[in-house]
C-alpha cells in the first residue's frame, strides 16, 4: 500500500497555473518528480554502496550546478575565543571569532553550553537574521558590527543596543540548556550580506576576491551561508566541551533552505532541521504553489546560482527537485516543519518532499516518513528518520518547534 501511495503521489495532475502565484491545490500543474534512486544515465540504484559512491555525489553536484552554486573548499585561518560564565551560572558562553583569512572580517559565533551537563554536549547550530545580540537579552553578547536589516527591511543599518534580545522568542536558550543541549548561532550577514551587492562583500570577496569571474554555477548567498555553518563545525571539532559528532543544523525560512543545503553538502552534521523553508528549501519546486522559482529568483537574485534562473516558469526542466535535497540527509535524521498560516512556503509541498525522500532512507536501512498524507496540525510524525509536523500559526520558529526538534534528536541521534 505504501509503494502505491508513493507512486500515486509522485504525479499530480490539475489545471493550468495562473499568473503570479497560486494558493489553490486544484490548480497545481501537472508534474512528475525525478526519482532520487535513478542516476542521470537511467541506472537504478539498488544498494547502499551505489547510493554512497555514485548517486549521492551526483545529486550534490547537480544541486551545486543548478540550484545553489558550487562553493570552494573551506578552512579557518584563525580563531579567537572568549569564554565566560553566563545566565546566572546556567551556561558557559563562548564568543568565537572565525577568520577565513587572516585579513578577512570576522564571523562571530555565539555558543551557549549547559554549565552542569556532562561534557561533551550535543549542539543545535543555526544562523540568525539580525545579529547574535538579538537572540537573548544577555548584556554581554557583542552587538554585531555587520550591517543588519531594520524594521522596514533596509539593509544598510547599524545594530544598536535597542536590538538586544528582540528575537529571543525564536531562540529558547534556557529550554535547550535545561535539556542538556548547547546552542550556537551566527548572524548570516557576518558570512554574506543578505543583499544583491554583486558578491563584493562577505566570504565571496574574502575567498574568491572582488574581481573574480562568476559563472552560472558560482555560489550564491545560501551556499555561502551553508559554507559558513561548516566553518563553525570546524571550530567545534577543536572544542572538547562540544560533541562535534552530535551537531544538528537548524534554520528557519531562507535559513532553513541553508540548513538543508549545509546538511546535504557536509555529512558531518548529525541531524538536519528545516523550519518553514519553502521554495528552494523543502517545498517541491514543480508544484509551483505559493512562492515559485521565478518569484524567488526575481525577489532574491543573490540567493541561488544564476543557472537556477533558467528554470523560472520552467521548473520541470531542472534535473533535481527538493525531495532529493531532503534525501541527501539520509541516513541521518531530517526534520521538516511547516505552519498552517504559511501557505507561501507550501506546507503540503514540504511534507511531500519528506515523503518522496523516504525510499532513500529505506534503501539505507532506516524508516523514512511514516505518514502517507499530511498530518493534522500539531500532531508530529516522528516514528521514522524523517519527521514532520504542521504547527498551528504563522511563518515563524517557536518554542513548540524547538521542543519537537529536541524530542527527535533524543530519539534518533545516538551517542558515539
**pLDDT reported for residue 1:** 38
Q: What is the DSSP letter of 170?
A: G
**Predicted pLDDT at 6:** 47
User: Is there a catalytic annotation at residue 146?
Assistant: no
Supply the DSSP string of 80-140, one letter for each residue. Answer: EEEEEEETTTTEEEEEEEEESSTTSPPEEEEEEEETTSPSSEEEEEEEESS-GGGS---TT
Is residue 311 packed enough to be buried (19+ CB in 10 Å), middle (13-18) or exposed (0-12)?
Answer: buried
The number of beta carbons lying within 10 Å of the beta carbon of residue 389 is 23
Q: Is 140 part of any domain?
A: yes
Is residue 330 domain-shared with residue 378, that is, in the same domain?
Answer: yes
pLDDT score for 154: 57
Whether 257 is covered by a domain: the verdict is no
* Confidence at residue 155, expressed as pLDDT on a 0 to 100 scale: 60
User: Do 295 and 201 lie in a common domain?
Assistant: no
CATH number at residue 275: 3.40.50.1820
Whether residues 128 and 53 share a domain: the answer is no
Domain of residue 43, residue span: 2-68+270-412
The one catalytic residue in 218, 253, 285, 353 is 253
Identify the burial level of 295 via C-beta atoms within 10 angstroms of its C-beta, where 0-12 means exposed, 13-18 middle and 19 or more buried: middle
pLDDT at 156: 66
**350 and 296, same domain (yes or no):** yes
Identify the DSSP state of 53. I
Residue 253 lies inside a defined structural domain of this protein: no
Position 259 scores a pLDDT of 99
Same domain, 41 and 155: no
Per-residue confidence (pLDDT) for residue 150, from 0 to 100: 67
Residues 48 and 193 in one domain: no
Domain count, the chain: 2
The three grid cell numbers given for residue 245, joined into one nine-digit string: 559528532
Residue 250 lies in a domain: no
Are residues 51 and 136 located together in one domain of the fold? Answer: no
Q: In which residue are the cell numbers 506546507 written?
A: 347
Beta-carbon contacts of residue 293 (< 8 Å; ≥ 6 apart): 279, 280, 285, 308, 311, 312, 313, 315, 318
- The reply to whether 58 and 184 lie within a common domain is no
pLDDT along the chain (416 residues), means of 10: 42 42 91 98 98 98 98 94 98 98 94 97 98 98 88 70 96 98 98 92 92 94 98 98 98 98 98 98 97 96 98 97 98 98 97 98 98 98 98 98 98 91
Q: Are residues 375 and 395 in the same domain?
A: yes
d(CA 122, CA 128): 19
The answer to whether 128 touches 149, Cβ cutoff 8 Å, is no
37/63 same-domain check: yes
338 included as an active-site residue: no
- Is 259 contained in some domain? no
Regarding whether 217 and 109 lie in a shared domain, the answer is yes
Confirm if 232 and 243 have CB atoms less than 8 A apart.
no
Cell numbers found for residue 212: 573574480
Amino acid at each position: 500500500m505504501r509503494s502505491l501511495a508513493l507512486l500515486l503521489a509522485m504525479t499530480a495532475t490539475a489545471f493550468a497555473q495562473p499568473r503570479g502565484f497560486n494558493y489553490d491545490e486544484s490548480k497545481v500543474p501537472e508534474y512528475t518528480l525525478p526519482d532520487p534512486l535513478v542516476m542521470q544515465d537511467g541506472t537504478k540504484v539498488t544498494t547502499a554502496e551505489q547510493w554512497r559512491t555514485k548517486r549521492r555525489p551526483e545529486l550534490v553536484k547537480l544541486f551545486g550546478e543548478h540550484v545553489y552554486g558550487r562553493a570552494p573548499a573551506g578552512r579557518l585561518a584563525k580563531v579567537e575565543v572568549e569564554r565566560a560564565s553566563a545566565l546566572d551560572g546556567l551556561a558557559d558562553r563562548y564568543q568565537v571569532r572565525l577568520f577565513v583569512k587572516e585579513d578577512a572580517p570576522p564571523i562571530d559565533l555565539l555558543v551557549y553550553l549547559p554549565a552542569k551537563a556532562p561534557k561533551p554536549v550535543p549542539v543545535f547550530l543555526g544562523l540568525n537574521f539580525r545579529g547574535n545580540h538579538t537572540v537573548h537579552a544577555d548584556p554581554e553578547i557583542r552587538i554585531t558590527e555587520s550591517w543588519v536589516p531594520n524594521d522596514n527591511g533596509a539593509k544598510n543599518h547599524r545594530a544598536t543596543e535597542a536590538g538586544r534580545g528582540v528575537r529571543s522568542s525564536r531562540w529558547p536558550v534556557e529550554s535547550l540548556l535545561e535539556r542538556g543541549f548547547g546552542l550556537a548561532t551566527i548572524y548570516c550577514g557576518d558570512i554574506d550580506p543578505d543583499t544583491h551587492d554583486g558578491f563584493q562583500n562577505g566570504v565571496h570577496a574574502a575567498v574568491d576576491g572582488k574581481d573574480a569571474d562568476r559563472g552560472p554555477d558560482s555560489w550564491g548567498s545560501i551556499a555561502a551561508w551553508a559554507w559558513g555553518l561548516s566553518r563553525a563545525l570546524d571550530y567545534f571539532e577543536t572544542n572538547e566541551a562540544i560533541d562535534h559528532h552530535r551537531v544538528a543544523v537548524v534554520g528557519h525560512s531562507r535559513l532553513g533552505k541553508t540548513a538543508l543545503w549545509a546538511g546535504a553538502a557536509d555529512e558531518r552534521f548529525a541531524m538536519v532541521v528545516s523550519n518553514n523553508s519553502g521554495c528552494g528549501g523543502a517545498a517541491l519546486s514543480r508544484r509551483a504553489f505559493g512562492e515559485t522559482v521565478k518569484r524567488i529568483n526575481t525577489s532574491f537574485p543573490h540567493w541561488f546560482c544564476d543557472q537556477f534562473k533558467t528554470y523560472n516558469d520552467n521548473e520541470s526542466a531542472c534535473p533535481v527537485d527538493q525531495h532529493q535535497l531532503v534525501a541527501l540527509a539520509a541516513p541521518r535524521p531530517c526534520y521538516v516543519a511547516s505552519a498552517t498560516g504559511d501557505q507561501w512556503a507550501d506546507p503540503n509541498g514540504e511534507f511531500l518532499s519528506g515523503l518522496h525522500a523516504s525510499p532513500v532512507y529505506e534503501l539505507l536501512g532506516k524508516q523514512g516518513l511514516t505518514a502517507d498524507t499530511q498530518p493534522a496540525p500539531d500532531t508530529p510524525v516522528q516514528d521514522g528518520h524523517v519527521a514532520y509536523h504542521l504547527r498551528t500559526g504563522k511563518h515563524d520558529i517557536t518554542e513548540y518547534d524547538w521542543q519537537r526538534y529536541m524530542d527527535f534528536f533524543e530519539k534518533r541521534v545516538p551517542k558515539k
